[in-house]
């Protein structure tokens, strides 16, 4: 009995060790057109909304616009190449870095100094990045053109938005755009079906690529269309925004006093469904990047 | 009618019966609500449960549901520990009956109506009953603390083998008393802010606000409450095992003062988290050290006892190390109770210390959701270890013998340790693999966790099934166990 259990334990250990091996990642994926235009912006009206888990009354003072979808790899590559050509960013080894003026520092416990200088925007060659760099320019990997940009730090996200004449949305702006003013749990209502969003073990067709964590789905993928036999439900926010739940976490603008973590909203392909609730928050240092973190921009309405 | 009366009498008037009922209720709740998350959710079982059992799972109330579920399960565990304590520690029969009756009424009311409220629609009368049940448990705790008062003449001891003061005060009893007082205070530490948040139904999970720079006093109290309650449940269980192993002698004399001092310091440290957050963790770490040492002294004593008894049965006079080791491993139930305490140091204490030391350098480089996995895994494993120790102890008291004892004991130990080890690996996965490469490790760790937990739950199910069948037998095991309604016999049985 004991010998059998001992052998089983050894097998389990061997299984764990083998699981630490590097994954084989695809350079391309099957392209899917969603018919959703990632260059579109949506106007969100000023006014009250319910914020957070406990639905506290809150208010947005002025109208603003926010992108219909996450920023795609193709969109990011275009702006990145322009910035590279203009000398606004530079390659430093395996990193693409750019200038950041720094955060105010108070020296509190656990506070990390984010000083003035060059900070990481994204890694140039690292598994998970869906851009290829040929030494001169960046380009989206085949099939990933309309997938959300990932592996981008907060610095890289904020710089992109600035470059297109916009900014990252504040947390309040993001939340109102995601849930409207009726306090719903998910952008489309209060229930979550597997074919409404890309989340952990949601069994979308891209899960074949990287297991149950899946890979990103094209922006606007959950629009009611069928893709290779996979039927999606239309899953938009009250203002018609796509991907406000799942696929990738989205960086937001707020910098809170005494801490330098930047907040992300929306949940990702690697998270359980409850993380997709509109009030769910995640945070990380501004130089953090991940295959599950992307961005969308907001901008003030021109009067 | 007599059939039913006798069984109910056994289940609610004897220690083993009371423990059996509590374990069975925990098993049922765990089995049922376990279908709503983890792999069961992935397999679609959650959807089936919602459709067929009328569950009402509003996404906005997930945190509240989880808090009620944890509380109801914890109350049942506290009740089990109380049943053991009232049986093992000398006290008046009338005190024992009152305490057991009150806490039984309390935890069952709390469990039934709490879960009903949380999962089957909000009937606020049920929420009131959930709270009322917990109040009864608190009163049972007050009565237990009174009964444990160590300075009564009849509880003074002159046994030179026991840890005691020069005046004869039994320090083990003092340790029980200190644990009980600390528990009552810590209950209030959570109940006061809980009543504020609870009345407004503003439930939150502590792990969700861990990186919030400014936490309110009430939020800090909630964080402190959940930590200290689990710690005190572990301290109580260690003291119960001290009685179960008839811990005495030189090591007992060292261990009990350490346990008393450690419990006081940890509790003080946790309570200090509200006014002195900056230094509270240091105080807690200082207090943890003597408690851990006391626990390890019990382990040394218990293992020596197990091996020596086995060798005595085998008539081995001068055993070598290998023979001693085989003797030690010959009884997986009693070995396992103590081994789990040792194993806890690897998968809970070591991971916790690492996370605390490397917080800024490593853990806070990860996103909050990753740190959250570490935090929730950390205390789930500790709670799981406590549960397996209780399970092994109960199986021992149930008189499992021969091959069944071996199979049950080893499968619980190996199954649970496999699961807890895999969870510890999952908690710290970013140390070994990059985020993009973590899927294989995650899948494997979850698979091993599920296999391990399923094994333990299967053993629990078999044990409960055996006891259920036994209840239908006229001269079943339960009839023998019923005799321990006279608690002296229970103590003697344990002392054997």
User: Residue A247 belongs to what H/E stretch?
Assistant: none
Residue A131 β-bridge partners: A140
Domain count, chain B: 3
Indicate which of B37, B367, B371, B444 best probes the interface with A, i.e. most A CBs within 10 Å of its own CB.
B367
Q: Which of B301, B330, B359 is the last residue of a domain?
A: B330
Q: What is the pLDDT of residue B487?
A: 45
B263 lies in the same domain as B326: yes
Q: What is the pLDDT of residue A70?
A: 98
CA angle B2, B6, B12 (to 5 degrees): 140
Q: Which residues of B touch A127 (CB under 8 A)?
A: 434, 436-437
B395 lies in the same domain as B371: yes
Helix (H/G/I), strand (E/B), else coil: B76: helix
B202 lies in the same domain as B139: no
Query: Does residue B158 form part of some domain?
Result: yes
Rounded Cα gap, residues B284 and B281, in angstroms: 5
Rounded Cα gap, residues B254 and B171, in angstroms: 10
Q: Cα distance from B338 to chain A (closest Cα, Å)? A: 18
Of A15, A25, A282, Cβ closest to residue B368: A282
The domain that holds B257 is classified in CATH as: 1.20.120
B354 lies in the same domain as B248: no
Q: Which residues of A touch B208 (CB under 8 A)?
A: 281
Ranges of residues in chain A with a pLDDT under 50 are: none
B68 lies in the same domain as B191: no
* Interface contact flag, A9 B204, Cβ < 8 Å: no
Q: Which residues of B touch A183 (CB under 8 A)?
A: 60
B170 lies in the same domain as B311: yes
B195 lies in the same domain as B273: yes
Domain A38-300 sits in CATH at 3.90.1580.10
The helix-helix angle for B438-471 and B402-427 (nearest 10°) equals: 150
Q: Which of B288, B314, B330 is the last residue of a domain?
A: B330
Whether B434 contacts chain A with CB within 8 A: yes
Q: Cα distance from B150 to chain A (closest Cα, Å)? A: 43
* Interface contact flag, A259 B211, Cβ < 8 Å: yes
B226 lies in the same domain as B363: no
* Interface contact flag, B360 A110, Cβ < 8 Å: yes
Q: Which residues of B touch A128 (CB under 8 A)?
A: 435-436
B346 lies in the same domain as B323: no
Distances (CA, A) of A267 to A284, B149, B363: 13, 53, 20
Whether B448 contacts chain A with CB within 8 A: yes
Token readout for A266 is 């929306």
Q: Cα distance from B227 to chain A (closest Cα, Å)? A: 21
Alpha-helical runs (H) found in B402-437: 402-427
B23 lies in the same domain as B168: no
Which residues 74-133 in chain A show a CB within 8 A of chain B? 108-110, 112, 126-128
Q: Using CA coordinates, name the residue in chain B closest to A272.
A: B38
Rounded Cα gap, residues B134 and A256, in angstroms: 39
Query: Does residue B14 form part of some domain?
Result: yes
Locate the domains of chain A by residue range: 38-300
Query: Does residue B111 form part of some domain?
Result: yes
What is the block-wise mean pLDDT of chain B (496 residues), using blocks of 10 residues? 89 94 95 86 85 91 93 97 96 95 98 96 92 97 98 94 95 98 95 75 85 86 93 97 95 97 96 90 92 96 95 88 92 96 93 85 88 90 96 94 95 96 92 84 90 95 95 89 58 54
Which residues 236-295 in chain A show a CB within 8 A of chain B? 256-259, 261, 264, 271-275, 277, 281-285, 288, 290-293
Q: Which residues of B touch A192 (CB under 8 A)?
A: 59
Q: Which of B88, B119, B148 is the last residue of a domain?
A: B148
* Interface contact flag, B448 A12, Cβ < 8 Å: yes
B195 lies in the same domain as B92: no
What's the domain range around B82? 1-148
Rounded Cα gap, residues B250 and B259, in angstroms: 15
Percentage of residues in chain A with pLDDT exceeding 90? 76
B310 lies in the same domain as B176: yes
Whether A26 contacts chain B with CB within 8 A: no
């Amino acid at each position: 009995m004991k010998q059998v259990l001992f052998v089983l334990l050894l097998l389990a250990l061997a299984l764990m060790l083998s699981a630490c091996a590097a994954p084989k990642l695809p350079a391309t994926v099957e392209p899917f057109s969603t018919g959703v235009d990632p260059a579109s912006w949506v106007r969100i009206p000023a006014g009250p909304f319910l914020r957070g888990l406990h639905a506290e009354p809150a208010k947005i003072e002025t109208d603003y616009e926010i992108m219909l979808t996450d920023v795609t790899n193709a969109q990011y590559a275009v702006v990145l190449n322009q910035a590279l050509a203009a000398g606004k960013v530079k390659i430093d080894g395996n990193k693409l870095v750019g200038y950041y003026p720094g955060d105010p520092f108070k020296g509190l416990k656990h506070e990390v100094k984010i000083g003035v200088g060059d900070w990481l925007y994204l890694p140039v060659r690292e598994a998970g990045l869906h851009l290829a760099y040929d030494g001169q320019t960046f380009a989206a990997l085949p099939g990933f053109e309309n997938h959300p940009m990932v592996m981008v730090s907060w610095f890289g996200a904020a710089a992109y938005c600035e470059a297109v004449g916009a900014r990252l949305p504040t947390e309040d702006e993001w939340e109102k755009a995601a849930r409207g003013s009726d306090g719903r749990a998910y952008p489309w209502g209060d229930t979550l079906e597997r074919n409404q969003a890309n989340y952990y073990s949601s069994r979308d067709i891209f899960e074949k690529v990287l297991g149950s964590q899946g890979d990103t789905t094209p922006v606007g993928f959950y629009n009611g269309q069928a893709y290779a036999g996979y039927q999606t439900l239309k899953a938009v926010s009250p203002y018609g925004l796509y991907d406000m739940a799942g696929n990738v976490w989205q960086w937001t603008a707020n910098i809170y006093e005494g801490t330098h973590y930047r907040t992300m909203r929306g949940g990702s392909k690697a998270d359980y469904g409850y993380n997709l609730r509109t009030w769910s928050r995640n945070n990380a240092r501004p130089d953090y990047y991940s295959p599950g973190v992307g961005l969308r921009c907001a901008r003030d309405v021109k009067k | 009618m007599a059939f039913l009366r006798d069984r109910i009498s056994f289940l609610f008037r004897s220690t083993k019966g009371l423990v059996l009922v509590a374990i069975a209720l925990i098993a049922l709740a765990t089995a049922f609500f376990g279908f709503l998350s983890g792999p069961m959710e992935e397999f679609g079982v959650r959807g089936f449960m919602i459709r067929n059992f009328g569950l009402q799972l509003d996404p906005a109330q997930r945190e509240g549901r989880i808090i009620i579920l944890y509380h109801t399960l914890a109350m049942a565990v506290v009740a089990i520990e109380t049943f053991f304590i009232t049986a093992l520690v000398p006290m008046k029969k009338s005190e024992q009956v009152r305490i057991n009756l009150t806490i039984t009424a309390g935890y069952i009311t709390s469990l039934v109506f709490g879960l009903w409220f949380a999962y089957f629609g909000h009937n606020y009368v049920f929420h009131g009953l959930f709270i009322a049940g917990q109040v009864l448990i608190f009163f049972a705790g007050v009565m237990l603390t009174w009964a444990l008062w160590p300075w009564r003449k009849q509880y003074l001891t002159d046994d030179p083998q026991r840890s005691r003061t020069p005046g004869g005060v039994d320090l083990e009893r003092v340790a029980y008393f200190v644990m009980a007082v600390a528990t009552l205070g810590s209950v209030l530490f959570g109940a006061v802010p809980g009543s504020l948040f609870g009345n407004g139904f503003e439930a939150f999970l502590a792990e969700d606000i861990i990186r919030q720079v400014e936490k309110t006093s009430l939020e800090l109290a909630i964080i402190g409450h959940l930590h200290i309650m689990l710690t005190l449940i572990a301290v109580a269980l260690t003291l119960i095992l001290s009685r179960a192993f008839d811990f005495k002698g030189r090591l007992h004399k060292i261990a009990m003062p350490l346990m008393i001092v450690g419990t006081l310091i940890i509790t003080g440290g946790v309570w200090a988290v509200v006014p002195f957050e900056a230094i509270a963790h240091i105080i807690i770490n200082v207090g943890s050290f003597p408690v851990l040492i006391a626990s390890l002294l019990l382990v040394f004593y218990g293992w020596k006892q197990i091996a020596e008894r086995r060798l005595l049965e085998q008539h081995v006079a001068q055993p070598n190390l290998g023979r001693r080791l085989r003797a030690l491993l010959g009884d997986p139930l009693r070995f396992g109770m103590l081994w789990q305490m040792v194993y806890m140091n690897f998968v809970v204490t070591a991971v916790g210390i690492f996370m605390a030391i490397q917080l800024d350098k490593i853990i806070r480089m990860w996103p909050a959701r990753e740190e959250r996995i570490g935090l929730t895994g950390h205390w789930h494993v500790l709670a799981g270890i406590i549960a397996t120790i209780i399970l092994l102890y109960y199986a021992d008291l149930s008189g499992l013998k021969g091959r069944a004892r071996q199979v049950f004991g080893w499968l619980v130990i190996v199954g649970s340790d496999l699961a807890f080890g895999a969870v510890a690996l999952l908690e710290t996965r970013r140390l070994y693999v990059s985020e993009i490469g973590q899927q294989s490790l995650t899948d494997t760790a979850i698979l091993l966790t599920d296999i391990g937990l399923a094994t333990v739950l299967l053993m629990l199910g078999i044990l409960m099934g055996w006891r259920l069948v036994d209840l239908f037998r006229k001269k079943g095991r339960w009839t023998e166990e019923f005799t321990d309604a006279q608690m002296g016999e229970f103590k003697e049985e344990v002392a054997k």
